[in-house]
Amino acid sequence: MVPTYKEISCPFCGRVVRDSDKYCIFCGSKIQKAKKKKEKTKEQEIIEQEVDKDLGFLKGVSKNKDDKEKTDTPFMIEEDSQEDLEDTVLSLEEIKKEKKSKKDSKKKKNIKIELPQEIKDQLECKMKLAIIEDKKKKLKEKLKALKEDLNEEKYEYDMDYAKQINVKLNAFKVIKEEFNEKEENLRTELGPKGMFRVDELEDELEVQREQLIELKRAFKLHKVKKDIYEQLRLEYSTGFREAEKELHDLRSNIIRWLSSEKADKNRLENRIRLLQGRYKTKEVDEEEFKRQKKEISLELERVAQRVKILEIYSRAKKKKFF
C-alpha cells in the first residue's frame, strides 16, 4: 500500500515525521510554519514581565515571601538538578551492588520511577517508533544502493544477477511494508493527536500564561472589574501551578528512568570492550566474538534509542516565553 503522506524532517529534533502531523511523535514539538512575530509594545512587555514575575519565571525579582512559597516547585529542571538526580540513582546502584545496611535499602525504595502506566506506555511507544524510524532510514540507504545496481549494464544481460537484485528488491519492499504497518499500529496506540502528557502540560502552561497576560491587559484597560480579575487570576494561576507541579514530577521520574537506561548503556558498552579484550587474548575465537558482539550491539542500539527519547523529555523545551 502506497503511503498517502509525505515524509518531512522535524525542525526541532530532525527525525522523520509526516507532513500531516501536527506534533512530532518523537519530541512533541509543533510541526507548523513559522509565523511572523508581531512587534510587542512597551506596555505589552511590561504586562508580560509582571505576569512572569507573579509566576516566578524572572529570577531575583520576587521579594515577596508568599511568591517564593508559590514557586517552590520550579517548572524548569536545570542541568544541575538533573545531575543530582542521576547521581542519586547511580549511588543507589552502588548501594545495591555493595549490599549495605538496611537504611540504604530504605533509601533505595524511595527512589522508584513512579510514572503513571499511561505515561510509561506512551514513552515505550515512542521508543519503539524511534527504533523503527532508525531501521527505515537504514533500509532507505540500502534501497538507494540497490537502485544503483539496477542501472548497471550487468543487470540487462546477466539473468542470474538480475534475479538476485529483484529478490533483494522485493524483500526490501516487504520489510518496508512491515515497518509501515508497525508504525501505524504504534501511532494508533499514541492516539489521534500523537500527544504525550508532557507536551500537553507544556501547551497548557503556555495557554494559562497567555490568559493571565490578556486578563491583566483587560484589567488595566478597565474592561474587567477587580473582583472578576481577582477571581480569574486565581483560577488561571492555580491551573498553571497544578500543571507546573505535574510536569515537574513527570520530568523528575523521567530523569530517573533516563539514568537507569544510561547505566544499562554503559554496561553494554563495557561488555563490548571486555569482549574485545577476550578476543585479543584469544579467550574467545573470531566466530564467537562476532556472535556475541552482534547480540550486544543490537541490545545497545535499542537502549541508545530509548536514551534519546528520554533525553528529549528530561528537559523543558525552550519555549518562547521563558
- 3-state SS, 163-177, equals HHHHHHHHHHHHHHH
Q: Domain extents for the chain?
A: 1-34
pLDDT category, 281, cuts 50, 70, 90? very high
Q: Model confidence over 129-169: pLDDT tens digits?
A: 888 888 888 888 888 888 887 777 777 788 888 888 888 88
What integer is the mean pLDDT of 254-271? 93
Whose CA is closest to 183, among 126, 137, 143?
126
In the DSSP assignment, the letter for residue 152 is S
* Alpha helices (H) in 31-101, listed in sequence order: 42-55, 65-70, 79-98
- C-alpha cell recorded at residue 163: 534475479
How far is it, in rounded angstroms, from Cα 135 to Cα 239? 41
Q: Which of 80 and 3 is assigned the larger pLDDT? A: 3
Percent of the chain predicted with pLDDT > 70: 75
Q: Measure the N-to-C terminal CA separation of the chain; round to a whole number of Å.
A: 44
Q: Model confidence over 4-54: pLDDT tens digits?
A: 677 787 777 777 777 777 777 777 777 765 444 456 677 778 888 888 887
Query: Model's pTM, two decimal places?
Result: 0.61
Whose CA is closest to 256, among 126, 91, 99, 118?
91
Q: Which of 72-76, 115-119, 132-136, 198-202 has the lowest mean pLDDT?
A: 72-76
What integer is the mean pLDDT of 197-215? 88
63 C-beta neighbours (distance < 10 Å), count: 7
